[in-house]
Structure formats: C-alpha cells, structure tokens
Amino acid sequence: MRECATSAPRATSATALGSTLDELDLELITALQVAPRAPWAQLAGPLGVDAATLSRRWARLRDSGTAWVTCYTGASQVAYGALALIEVNCLPQDREALAAECARHPQALSVEMVAGSSDLLLTVATRHRVAMTEYVLALGRIPGVTGTRTHLVQHLHREASQWRFDSLSRDQQRGLPASGAGPRPDPGPVTAEERRLILALAPDGRRSLVSLAAELGRPEATVRRLLAGVLSSGKAVLRCEAAQPHTGWHTSFTVWMSVPPAALAGAAEELAALRDTRLSASTATEA
C-alpha cells in the first residue's frame, strides 16, 4: 500500500512578507474553517467586530477569489464511489490551459500545478470506479496530455477540511458556534437529491437556503433538513480555503510513501496527527 500525505503551506508567520490579508481577514477565514455557515452575528463576538463588517470583508474576499467556501462529498463516500489523486504530464506550453480546462470538470475537486514527476495533480471524485476509468481515459485524450498516473484512494485518514490557520486565540475559538455531532461511521451513500444539493453548494458553501430552494425546486424547510442531514452525517463537508499567494504561506507539497501493509495503520495515524498535514490517504497506485 502507499500513503499520501499533503502538507499545509508553510510560512514564518500569518503576516509574512508578501501577504495581502490582514489579521482580521485571517481570523475571519479561520472562523469559517471552523463554522463555514455560521451567521455573521454569531462570529461578531469572537472576532470583536460587528456583523456588517464581517459581511463586507467576506464579500471582498469571495468576489476577488481570495477565499471561498465549497462543499463536496465526505470521506465516508469513498466506500461507495471512487476518489483518486491523478498525476498528469503535459507539454510545457499547454500546462496553464490544461489546468484551466481540468478545473472546469465537475469531477475535479482540486487542480494543482506542481513541480516534480508530474505537471498537474488532480483530486477527482466519481460515483463509481467505472466512471473513474472513463474519466482517466478521457483525460488522456485531451490534446497536450502526455501521460497520467492514477492513485486510487482506499481510505482517507485525514481530510483537508479539518486543517486550520493559526489565527484565533483560545478564547476566540471557544466563542465560535459548535460544529455539532461528528459524522456517523457508515451514513450510507449520498442520494440523488442530496447530490443535487451538494453540487448546488459547491461554488458557494454559504449560499442562502432561499437561493438553494429556488434552484432545487424544493421547499426551504426541506432544503434545511437535507443540508443538516448531509453535514451531520458526514456525507458532505464544507471547507473554507484561501488562495495560497495571499496568505503568506509559501510552500505546500505532497509526499508519496511506500508502507508495509502491517505498518500502514500506525503510519497513517501518526501522519494524520501532524500539525502540517492537510490530507492523508492510503492509495492503490497503478503500476
């Protein structure tokens, strides 16, 4: 088995040289990492500013593409669908255009331009393994792609939405809304209606219930229950993220490790517990 560990970006401090976010911006992003859909009034006290200021701040960060909240299926769904990390090689002149094209694919949870043995690293989710195979084959047919290598995720030990910036004091953290019950061990597969809700929330995880109800053609009360259900069960997760160049955190990297099967559980547990680990997964890698 192989273990993949993705580290958090590194920086000397939250206000490192080159950062375009001030301390309140970072505190707001951190608060939304903990409570992504919390009303501004609930965050105003812990952050020490009024709700209107937080609303304006977030609108600026969101509209500029500096920070965002997204929604996607949770770790429990690995058992029902297919999740893979795909390394993509391409012609040098096609890299940026290819990254932009892949970012438009609904299957792609993330697209990263990387240095090393590949040019792009994609995190891809599909409903089942046949669909994953079809996606990889289609990916290889895109002009400019010279090769792919697929790492099929067997188990997620740490999911990236659990990572936090170090921008809130303990008192501020205690004042944030509680995240609620943890995910159930086996909540079952996402239903068709739940999938529609998750996809509707993907571009903006703070989207209003009124807007979601209008798109889904369902009563607002129904959408509220659906949303509470997918989040409390762990079928879906909300994640607040910020564009790395603006945060003062300069470098992130992915480490691929070969681990003897007998040592996998222990190694995965230790890696997942490290402060800088954003994602840790066991994968089966194609030869």
Which pLDDT tens digits describe the chain residue by residue (287 residues)? 555 656 554 433 333 333 478 999 999 999 999 999 999 999 999 999 999 999 999 999 999 999 999 999 888 888 888 999 999 999 999 999 999 999 999 899 889 999 988 999 999 999 899 999 999 999 999 999 999 999 999 988 888 888 888 889 989 988 988 765 555 667 889 999 999 999 999 999 999 999 999 999 999 999 999 999 999 999 999 999 998 777 766 678 888 999 998 999 899 889 988 988 988 999 987 65
Q: State both tokens at 133.
A: 């195979």
Do 63 and 202 sit in the same domain of this protein? yes
Let me know if residue 13 belongs to a domain.
Answer: no
Let me know if residue 176 belongs to a domain.
Answer: yes
In single-letter form, the type of residue at position 19 comes to: S
Q: Residue 234 is part of which domain span?
A: 20-74+161-244
Let me know if residue 1 belongs to a domain.
Answer: no
Let me know if residue 172 belongs to a domain.
Answer: yes
Exposure string of 16-52, with b = 16+ CB inside 10 Å and e = fewer, is eeebebeeebbbbbbbbbbbbbbebeebbebbebeee
Is the separation of the CB atoms in 186 and 234 below 8 Å? no
Let me know if residue 6 belongs to a domain.
Answer: no
pLDDT of residue 183: 57
pLDDT of residue 15: 39
Query: Both ends of the chain: CA-CA distance in Å?
Result: 12
Do 93 and 232 sit in the same domain of this protein? no
pLDDT of residue 146: 97
Q: Which 8-state DSSP code applies to residue 189? A: P
Q: Which 8-state DSSP code applies to residue 190? A: P
Let me know if residue 170 belongs to a domain.
Answer: yes
Distance CA 218, CA 209 (A): 10
- CATH number for the domain spanning 189: value is 1.10.10.2890
Output helix, strand, coil percentages for the chain, rounded to the nearest 5.
Answer: 40, 25, 35
pLDDT of residue 12: 34
pLDDT of residue 269: 87
Do 80 and 65 sit in the same domain of this protein? no
Let me know if residue 57 belongs to a domain.
Answer: yes
CA distances from 95 to 146, 194, 250, 252 (A): 11, 34, 21, 19
pLDDT of residue 7: 56
Do 178 and 65 sit in the same domain of this protein? yes
Is the separation of the CB atoms in 78 and 240 below 8 Å? no
If DSSP codes are grouped into helix, strand and coil, which group holds residue 41? helix
For the chain, the domain total comes to 2
pLDDT of residue 16: 38
Do 94 and 233 sit in the same domain of this protein? no
Let me know if residue 238 belongs to a domain.
Answer: yes
